[in-house]
């Protein structure tokens, strides 16, 4: 094996390692972190699943906090194109089932549209509404209701 061949093989090996590494590790900002940190794909899935987005009563517009959080999620999704994410819309217990299913869908759709606008490919996203079927918090106070009007994120590889 001459010098040229050895160099070519070494270059191919380095390229292959770089490509493999690039598929599973990304430079994204972890929520709450001050700087950019490296995430594996598994960690990215876990991060995407955290931090639901909350809504006002009978509303489906995104507030500033929700938009900031979705920007981080969009960075992760763009970094890891193999990750798909189902956006699940939920409502509090006060409304009726069928209207809440529609409202939950509208909430999930608002999140979906915003992530699309941030450049996340549609192929990575889907929506699903559960209405008021599965509250995150039991109770009949505003404290409980405010935690139940939400969009959750079911990310997977």
Partner 1 sequence: MKSGRFLRRGVLPALLLACFSLFAPVAAPAAPGALNDKFLAPVTPVAYRVQAALAEPLGEGRYSRELQQAILHNLSFLPFLEILDPAAIPGGVRLTAASGPELDFERFRLSRADNLITTLWINSRQVEMRAFEVLGGRFMFGSRFDLPDSGSVGDVADEFCAQFMEALTGRGDFFRSMITFSRKDGPRKSDIWVVKPTGGELRQITNIPGDSISPAWSHDGRFIVFGNIDSKSHALGVWDARSNRVQRLRFPGNTVIGPCFMPDNKVAVSLTDGRNPSIFLLDHSFRKEKPLINSSGIDVSPSVEASGEKMVYTSSRMGNPHIFMTDLKTGATLKISNEGTYNTDPSISPDGTLVAFARQMGGGHRIFVHDLRTGRETQVTFGPGSDEQPEFAPDSYFIAFASTRSGGRKIYLTTRHGGEARQVDTGRGDSSFPAWGLRK
Closest to 112 in 3D by CA, of 47, 43, 57, 62: 62
Number of residues binding to partner 1, judged by CB under 8 A: 21
Q: Tell me how far, at minimum, the Cβ of 6 lies from partner 1, in Å.
A: 51
Residues between 70 and 129 with contacts to partner 1, criterion CB under 8 A: 86, 94-99, 101-103, 105-106, 109, 126-129
Closest CB to partner 1 among 28 and 103?
A: 103
Asked whether the beta carbons of 48 and 85 are under 8 A apart, the reply is yes
Query: What's the helix, strand, coil split of the chain in %, to 5?
Result: 50, 20, 30
* Complete edge-to-edge strand list for the sheet that includes strand 125-131: 53-54, 150-156, 84-90, 125-131
Closest CB to partner 1 among 116 and 118?
A: 116
Q: Tell me how far, at minimum, the Cβ of 91 lies from partner 1, in Å.
A: 12
By CB under 8 A, name the binding residues for partner 1: 58, 86, 94-99, 101-103, 105-106, 109, 126-130, 133-134
């Amino acid at each position: 094996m001459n010098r040229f061949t050895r160099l070519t093989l070494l270059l191919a090996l380095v390229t292959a390692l770089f490509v493999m590494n690039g598929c599973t590790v990304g430079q994204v900002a972890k929520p709450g972190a001050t700087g950019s940190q490296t995430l594996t794909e598994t960690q990215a899935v876990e991060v995407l699943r955290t931090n639901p987005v909350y809504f006002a009563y009978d509303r489906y517009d995104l507030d500033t906090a929700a938009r900031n959080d979705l920007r981080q999620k969009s960075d992760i999704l763009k970094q890891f194109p193999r990750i798909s994410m189902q956006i699940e819309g939920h409502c509090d217990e006060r409304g009726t089932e069928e209207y809440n299913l529609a409202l939950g869908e509208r909430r999930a759709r608002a999140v979906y549209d915003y992530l699309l606008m941030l450049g996340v490919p549609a192929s990575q996203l889907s929506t699903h509404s559960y209405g008021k079927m599965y509250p995150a918090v039991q109770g009949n106070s505003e404290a409980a209701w405010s935690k139940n009007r939400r969009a959750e994120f079911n990310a997977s590889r």
